[in-house]
Amino acid sequence: MFTEQKATGAPPARSLMPDPDLCTEEEVMRLVHSFYARVRNDPVLGPIFESHIADWDRHLAKMVDFWSSALRGTARYKGTPVPRHAALPGLTITLFHRWLSLFRETTQGLENAALQQRADDLAHRIAGSLWYGYQARHGGPAGAGGPPAHVEAART
């Protein structure tokens, strides 16, 4: 997937709009299942996810729908992820960093470079939104300590 440079010569900002031609459903399914296999085996995140997810088949199907909607525009996902994550006890920015790290480890194995980049960009934004929602619900500081600076640090 190529984009044209602006008249200034600067590369255009990457679009995060869903694109049905970005990838196949099979690629989305592989991404989701590979990522959550890493999460479940992770010594830090695994126990947290295991304690909150009773039906992994259902959760994985919902996450495939989420990522298919976000990446391909299928509009299959119906849910409210921010309130569900904000209701979880004891989350920290370190856990969000770990989540992003595992996600990037997963996407690095993708053969589709455009999918890798788009998925990484979306994961970064999603982590920021979830962290911001968590901070808002739990009385975290607005601005300083909010998602942009902390989650941005996880990108490096």
pLDDT tens figures, 100-137? 999 999 999 999 999 999 999 999 999 999 999 999 99
Nearest to 150 by CA among 137, 139, 134, 138: 134
pLDDT tens figures, 28-79? 999 999 999 999 999 999 999 999 999 999 999 999 999 999 999 999 999 9
pLDDT of residue 11 exceeding 50: no
pLDDT for residue 14:
56
pLDDT for residue 17:
84
Angstrom distance (rounded) from CA 30 to CA 68:
11
Of these ranges, 57-61, 88-92, 149-153, the one predicted with the greatest mean pLDDT is 57-61
The residue length of the chain stands at: 156
Which CATH number applies to 25-155: 3.20.20.100, 1.10.490.10, 3.30.413.10, 3.40.50.300?
Answer: 1.10.490.10
Q: pTM for this one?
A: 0.80
DSSP string, the chain: ---PPPTTSPPPPPP-S--TTS--HHHHHHHHHHHHHHHHH-TTHHHHHHHH-S-HHHHHHHHHHHHHHHHH--------HHHHHHTSTT--HHHHHHHHHHHHHHHTT-S-HHHHHHHHHHHHHHHHHHHHHHHHHTTPPSSTTSHHHHHHHHH-
Q: How confident is the model at residue 148 (pLDDT cuts 50, 70, 90)?
A: very low
pLDDT for residue 106:
98
pLDDT for residue 146:
40
Contact criterion met (CB below 8 Å) for 107 and 122: no
The ranges assigned to domains in the chain are: 25-155
